[in-house]
Chains A and B, each alone.
Chain A
């Protein structure tokens, strides 16, 4: 693959986030949950990076660190703002982050909790505009109307309250709100998992169309592999706080190089009764991020583990063609894709 012509928008380097575990009356520190354990990746302008993994893998924590809803324990979050110099978001204070906030926005998972139930749609979608200086009410009305139309809703609904709308419509409102400040980077945290099947397709289509139209960049966090395949250019698979594989969508689905990725693909039940899927390829439970196994975290469940997997933690290394894998045996394994 040739060197990308488009510049990168976000580069995450060795991001770590631990949550302390405190026990006892005097809140003694007894350990830490390594929710995000050395995560590095880049997102180019205009592309969608899918971040996929099961519960507890750290994908949501990573997303929240990037948004600076959480402060990372260590690492760098390099962001290229519009017409400005690259800035590291990780150490910035609340006040320093404020001018950058309009450029990084979020789409939430829960359509029912993400809108303020006491405010009208106009007030909900107009909040980022008002807070960032657009005080003229008429200008806000016009802009909110335009945003609602953009996301497929009738602008005259803006004086209604969220309780009048279905889940899918609320999600559209959430998307309208996220786009209000014309952000460069949009972090979508499981935006369709709480929606009905028929509505999922509508919202996914909407996201694809908006991206094409507005040249948006997405970090798409999800647990559903099929959904991730539909929207992503590249996919990163996470397990217990680490990225275990990162490659283009076609490559990762056609030929995974990490045993966990292969197992995930195998486990997804496909709507075809004649296809073999939903099979058990993995035994055991997901490793505990507070006390991960020695060496490779995936070792206890991996069918291909060897001695070195127990003693040495594998590093995320490049396997050619922009593919990163965290596995000692990546070169020699041939794994089935879909």
Chain B
């Protein structure tokens, strides 16, 4: 077992609003190993986006990290706890973009409309030059441009010499997302965070982008944290899956375990309720009763218990289950498997 690139330990991110405290992330732990794709899946309000923001230290006020550790390991150097770093400090800025890169959901919103795509990638290259290039003479303009063109070609953009001078709004959705991936990979990050990268694009383009990501990941051995609500994409991309609900991890495991042997009632119910192209048409889908609670109205005890068909009265309504092993690599937080364990409130 190689040492993980990223270890999130009991992360808690709370939002302090006038109306109350929203516990957006409430005790999340998972590991990411080099070369591995970890898929974080969940519905709205589960805290997956906030977790991503916490890793990059871009949580907006009134939210902040209140507890937990985010240990990031660079080579042989000792692990840095990102949660302790100041969001605007030099240490975090050196990591952000260079060591940990983000592929955001909306490429249109992520690119500046007044700078060409090439300019923005070059900016990233030159900003983090020292980190990916090490010591030596500074990158010249021509060199940077050449590297940018190569980058664009490597993500499958045709005619990169022309496209490097294009503005983001001149490119189609698929090309824009590829350019975004090129920018994210420009400084050879150790960890790539992909935040719903294919939600805003068509299914055929999505297939191309997913293929590209898989290919790049194999080539550069980058670790990827892939955040999405689409279980189909997770099944195709991830090696390891983390299922979140209302700020907590419900279940974790290898992709085969999660999809073929899910243990947590939420995971099971979720998998059953997705429409599938293999199903018989016009049949009723098994649904999860109720709806996701309001963030200020968190249920007592296990967050899923009001909707859980297997809730144990008196246990699930009172105590919060801890994430404990239920298989070789699989872990679930559910009292059906661990009667006596309970996390701290």
Contacts and interface: CB of A to CB of B under 8 A. Distances in A.
A and B touching (C-beta < 8 Å)?
Answer: yes
B311 interface: no
Contact of B291 (A54, A168, A223): A168
Interface stretch (A2-10, A26-34, A84-92, A227-235): A227-235
For this complex, into which size category does the number of interface residues on chain B fall? 35 or more
Interface in B72-87: none
B311 to A, nearest CB: 16
B204 A54 contact: yes
Nearest to B44: A196
B281 interface: yes
Contact of A271 (B204, B235, B269): B235
A250 B281 contact: yes
A224 interface: yes
B259 interface: yes
A309 interface: no
A204 B277 contact: no
B142 interface: no
Interface in B198-238: 202-208, 210-211, 229-236
Nearest to A57: B202
B232 A268 contact: yes
Nearest to B259: A273
Interface in A186-235: 196-202, 204-205, 208-209, 223-227, 229-233
Interface residues of A, number: 54
A320 B259 CA distance: 39
B210 A201 contact: no
B281 A232 contact: yes
A206 to B, nearest CB: 10
B281 A229 contact: yes
A282 interface: yes
Contacts of B207: 266-267, 269, 278-282
A156 B205 CA distance: 45
A230 B275 contact: yes
B287 A201 contact: yes
B88 interface: no
Interface string A278-301: 111111011000000000000000
A279 B286 CA distance: 28
Interface string B275-296: 1111101111111100110100
Interface of A: 48, 54-55, 166-169, 196-202, 204-205, 208-209, 223-227, 229-233, 249-250, 253, 263-275, 277-283, 285-286, 338
12 contacts: A169-B291, A198-B43, A199-B291, A199-B292, A226-B276, A231-B282, A232-B281, A263-B204, A270-B277, A278-B236, A279-B207, A280-B207
Given A249-B281, A281-B204, A285-B205, 20 more contacts: A196-B43, A198-B287, A199-B43, A200-B274, A202-B287, A208-B284, A224-B275, A263-B204, A268-B203, A269-B210, A269-B230, A269-B235, A269-B236, A270-B276, A271-B232, A271-B274, A273-B259, A277-B236, A279-B207, A281-B207
